[in-house]
Amino acid sequence: MSQATATLAAAPARQSPGSTGDAVFAFACRAAGVLVLVLLGAIIVSLFIGGWQAFSAFGAGFLTSTDWDPVQEVFGAGVSVYGTIVTAVLAMLVAVPFAFGIAFWLTELAPDWLRRPVGTAIELLAAVPSIIYGMWGFFIIAPVMADPIQPFIIDTIGELPYIGALFQGPPFGTGLFTAALILAIMVLPFIAAVMRDVFLTVPPVYKESAYGLGCTTWEVMKGVVIPYTRVSVVGGIMLGLGRALGETMAVTFVIGNANRISTSLFGGGNTIASVVALEFPEAGAGSLKLSSLLALGFILFVLSFIVLAASRFMLRSRLKG
């Protein structure tokens, strides 16, 4: 072997110009991912440590207790957890069908000149601050609910067996149903925008093939578009559900802020977020009340995590099936 060949073989391999940038970019992405995990863990740990005084004082009964008496220093999360779950579920039951209808209309039925303005209007609704929704709900929606909507529902659906108990009671205008309605309006733009965007990702050849076989527009949506985009659609719904679970100011305005569990959807109640917003300024440092509020925050965090984990498990099962 010649001397030149030996010199080249002994020389270290020269890195390509882009290899350094790739290494820096990979490190930055890895660091960002680790930072998210660290922040998530820090939030969980801080909430748990802050709420430990309440957990140790009331035990497992803190989750189901309906007591909230700052004077006697007796606190429970039962009413707040109930209100959070009920309002979020009702909001999704109202918002998801409307969001699907909006996305379906924008992608399949609306004329081209109208799709962009309506789509922009939906996105602008998502940018409205929650306190504006709360004020609008309190001053506009709640009076309309008090008269004539709630009296009409009480006189009609409220007289039916079984489900009638859900729509009885005095028509105050505020309550769980009104809060759920405001939440539905708030999460509707998020879900509709996600559905519209994912529906547009379906390759046109798939839909054209279905139309060529004689399928109707609804059959194409049911047999082609929805199966192709179901993972992203469920992700959009979970995004809206996460927003509904943690919403604070809009719910605080219209839910009635009553510490009781009402069998009627027209009755007052509260949520974890609304209780924290109302009670936190009055909680002294190191007090049992402050610890109870932090414990409520930890429960809300766990509740949101369970919902997201369940959705991921459901999606994984469907993909395997």
* Mean pLDDT value of segment 155-182: 90
Alpha-carbon dihedral angle through residues 44, 45, 50, 56, given to the nearest 10 degrees: 100
Cα separation, 211 vs 201, whole angstroms: 17
- According to the model, what pLDDT value does residue 109 have? 87
Which range among 5-14, 103-112, 165-174 shows the weakest confidence by mean pLDDT?
5-14
pLDDT of residue 321: 55
Does residue 281 fall inside a structural domain?
yes
204 in any annotated domain? yes
Sequence-distant (≥ 6) Cβ neighbours of residue 191 within 8 angstroms? 95, 96, 99, 236, 237, 239, 240
Domain count of the fold of the chain: 1
Report the alpha-carbon distance of residue 22 to residue 141 in Å, rounded: 54
d(CA 30, CA 111): 45
Q: How far apart are CA 246 and CA 251, in angstroms?
A: 10
> Residue 225 to residues 6, 100, 202: CA-CA distances in angstroms?
62, 12, 6
User: What's the domain range around 143?
Assistant: 48-320
Question: 14: buried, middle or exposed (CB in 10 Å: 19+, 13-18, 0-12)?
Answer: exposed
Q: Residue range 110-121: average pLDDT?
A: 87
Q: What is the CA radius of gyration of the chain?
A: 26
Q: Give the CATH number of the domain where residue 99 resides.
A: 1.10.3720.10
**Does any domain span residue 4?**
no
- Angle CA 275–278–282, to nearest 5: 115
pLDDT tens readout for residues 237-252: 888 888 888 888 899 9
Confidence label for 116 from pLDDT (cuts 50, 70 and 90): confident
CA distance 317 to 10: 54
In the chain, count of helices (H) and strands (E)?
Answer: 14, 2
- Residue 17 has a pLDDT of 54
In a domain, 24, yes or no: no
The residue count of the chain comes to 321
Output the pLDDT for position 18.
Answer: 59
In a domain, 34, yes or no: no
Residue 321 to residue 227: CA distance in whole angstroms = 12
Domain-embedded: residue 150: yes
**pLDDT confidence bin for 149, thresholds 50/70/90:** very high
pLDDT tens track for 15-49: 555 578 788 889 999 999 999 999 989 999 999 99
Are the C-beta atoms of 229 and 162 separated by less than 8 Å?
A: no
CB 235 within 8 A of CB 307: no
What percent of the chain lies above the pLDDT cut of 70? 92
Residue 9 domain-assigned (yes or no): no
- Would residue 207 count as lying in a domain? yes
Tell me the C-alpha to C-alpha distance, in Å, between residue 150 and each of 169, 190, 266, 313.
9, 28, 8, 39
